[in-house]
Amino acid sequence: MARIPEPEQTPDGPAYEGRLLNRPDDEVVDQGAGFDMRTLVSRRGMLSLVGLGVGAATLAACSATSNAMTTASATPSTTATPTPTASASSTATLATEEVPQETNGPYPADGTSGVNVLEESGIVRSDITSSLDGGATVDGVPLSFTLTVSDLANGNVPFAGVAVYVWQCDAQGLYSMYSDAIVDETYLRGIQVTDANGQVTFQTIVPGCYLGRWTHIHFEVYPDAASATNADNQIATSQVAFPESMLHTVYTLDAYSGSAANLAQVSLASDNVFGDGYDLEMATFTGDASSGYVGSLSVAIDTTTAATLSTAGGSGGGSGGGRR
């Protein structure tokens, strides 16, 4: 068990590594994503946070010179081989049209529905397959997924230094922190900061399909890590779509029971998010259901256009009405 660091007592209040705590009454490990990111800038801070659940892969992802991914610490039972990995590439093709703005609800845990994981220590991480407190690890087909973000307002160059929050349902179509069966879990949620190539890579699983929606991953983009504490600060919110042929293969596995039947009742054309167009949200994938997949999507952000936020109502995870 890693030792929880003790704060330093200064004339101005409790501090750690010379920085005043955001929440003086809480422990160092409970200071939130912004404090985590500031701690990562020094080697001493890095070594301290590794033992607190951030993980070596996160440290690499937050570096401006490296975005290599590591394999999962616990491989899901649906695969017998290590998770595939994806590395950042300076030659990745940038999107040239602004990504559509989509709803963030109803299960975002970004502060808009009374639930907020963004202020939890350890949320800055690349591997999102386990809960923040070392709880359960999700079952499912491994997926190493890279988002490449570009800045349309400044010549469509790689958008370095922005924070990307991703979240998704599990293989059964349930959302951590909302669905009754996993309300105490925080897996399949995480933040990373884009590198010099505008890239972040998350280690996750292929999502399941729940009734009424095409398979997807949600993401929000924030100006920086310090602002990634509430959805009010986002500059873009959208979703990642999955190709039908890939899903048909994955959904034959026992871990995804029910997903095939749910997918059969919806199409990309009838989906209430992707139905008005999905070309800019359809990701590309390589791999297979046995060894896992590597996926990617390039998204362009235009900070000169107003970012809107539309959270659909709902509860229970994988259920409830509205665009989600």
Distances (CA, A) of 43 to 15, 18, 48, 119, 158: 18, 14, 9, 23, 26
Per-residue pLDDT at 50 exceeds 70: no
Distance CA 324, CA 311 (A): 8
The pLDDT of residue 310 is: 72
Query: Which 3 state secondary structure label does DSSP give 26?
Result: coil
The pLDDT of residue 226 is: 96
Distances (CA, A) of 55 to 63, 125, 191, 209, 318: 13, 7, 13, 29, 29
Per-residue pLDDT at 311 exceeds 80: no
Looking up tokens 């399941």 gives 208
Cut 0.85: pTM above it? no
Please give the single-letter amino acid code of residue 68: A
What is the fold of 68-301?
Answer: Protocatechuate 3,4-Dioxygenase, subunit A (2.60.130)
The predicted-structure confidence for 191-249, as pLDDT tens digits, reads as follows 999 999 999 999 999 999 999 999 999 999 999 999 999 999 999 999 999 999 999 99
Mean pLDDT of 89-94: 75
Per-residue pLDDT at 304 exceeds 80: yes
The larger pLDDT score, comparing residue 180 to residue 33, is at 180
Per-residue pLDDT at 321 exceeds 80: no
Mean pLDDT of 179-195: 97
Mean pLDDT of 123-139: 95
The predicted-structure confidence for 54-74, as pLDDT tens digits, reads as follows 333 333 333 333 333 333 333
Residue 44's region, left for phi above 0, alpha for psi from -120 to 50, else beta, is: alpha
Candidate from 113-117, 220-224, 270-274, 286-290 with smallest mean pLDDT: 113-117
Most distant CA pair in the chain, distance: 63
Mean pLDDT of 251-268: 98
- So where are the chain's domains? 68-301
